[in-house]
Structure 1
Amino acid sequence: MSSAVSRPSAANSDLAIQHFSALLTFETDCWDVHHACSNNRQDFILMDVRAESLYQAGHLPSSINLPHHRLSVATLQAYPNDTLFVVYCAGPHCNGADKAALKLAQLGRPVKKMIGGVTGWLDEGFSLEVG
């Protein structure tokens, strides 16, 4: 007897390695971002891509706010072209981070999405800054 979990069967190891390795080139998680930021290892710009009012109400420490619809060559001028941006939005129910990641990639900028967004950050027990 098999379950919906085991049907279809899992990918072979080579295919799984390829898939999960590729996935990690596109995404990071709240825990890794928090660890980097709190241990002086932040080698990326953490970008909150939500509306300014939402950012002011509560955002991740050390993040900047640049709503995804305002991303452009002009708004990114202050950052060297090889700057890694880690984008986040409200959480799994929001696709603002995906829109921002796509726009950054279209502009030729390195980008990763922080999965979970603000919801994931809070779920991990981390705090937000206000203002």
Structure 2
Amino acid sequence: MSPVSELPAAPSAEALAHFSASLAFETDCADVYVSLSGSPSSADFVLLDVRSPALFARGHVPGAVNLPHGKIVASKLEGYPLNTLFVTYCAGPHCNGATRGAIRLARLGRPVKIMIGGITGWLNEGFELAAGEAEF
């Protein structure tokens, strides 16, 4: 028996529930890219880079706005309707900033997903970064 099959797979119904539920919490770089690249953009979310302003200025996903996860508070979100979907990202799989930002948004009652992969995933997909500072 291989290490892969040593523990049996979940029944199909449980697998379906698990994997379907995961997409309620996350999206990927390719889906974000497609949504932001349309003409006009079909983005129905706000892409939130939750890293520091210095890291954002060095390179970020085009179309993202910068709001470090520690500064996500109700007053910063007043300009967005309550049903606005936010998609958070940070440096990549080695960083928990996107999760921290998602927690803060969820605590404020805001819809939120994480862009899995972050900057690392974005670059691995072959997508370009934008540079420059931006205010939230």
Same fold per superposition (TM over 0.5): yes
Alignment-derived partner of residue 10 in structure 2: 11
Q: Structure 2: how far apart are the matches of 1:9 and 1:76?
A: 45
**Secondary structure in 2 matching 1:55:** helix
Q: Quote how far apart the aligned CAs of 1:7 are.
A: 1.6
CA distance in structure 1 between the aligned counterparts of 2:64 and 2:34, rounded to whole angstroms = 14
Alpha carbon RMSD of aligned pairs, Å?
0.4
The one-character-per-residue Cα deviations of 1:68-92 (angstroms, maximum 9, x if unpaired) are: 0000000111110000000000000
Q: SS of the counterpart of 1:25?
A: coil
Secondary structure of residue in 1 paired with 2:115: strand
- Equivalent-residue separation in structure 1 for 2:108 and 2:68 (angstroms): 15
Corresponding residue SS for 1:113: strand
SS in 1 for 2:23: helix
Partner Cα separation in structure 2 for residue 111 and residue 7 of structure 1: 36
Match of 1:21 in 2: 20
Identity %: 56
- The Cα offsets for residues 53-111 of structure 1, whole Å up to 9 and x where unpaired, read as 00000000000000000000001111100000000000000000000001100000000
TM-score w.r.t. the length of structure 2 is: 0.95
**Structure 1 residue runs without a partner (length 5+):** none
Q: Distance in 1 between matches of 2:21 and 2:28?
A: 15
1:25-78 superposed Cα distances (whole Å, 9 cap, x missing partner): 000000000000001210000000000000000000000000000000001111
Q: Does 1:127 align with 2:128?
A: yes
**Divergent runs of 4+, >4 A:** none
State the distance in 1 between where 2:6 and 2:63 align.
44
Partner of 1:81: 82
Per the alignment, residue 109 of structure 1 pairs with 110
AA in 2 matched with 1:86: V
Rounded Cα–Cα distance in structure 2 between residues aligned with 1:123 and 1:105? 28
In structure 1, distance between residues paired with 2:108 and 2:3? 41
TM-score of the pair, normalised by structure 1: 0.98
2:54 aligns with: 53
Q: Partner of 1:93 in structure 2? A: 94
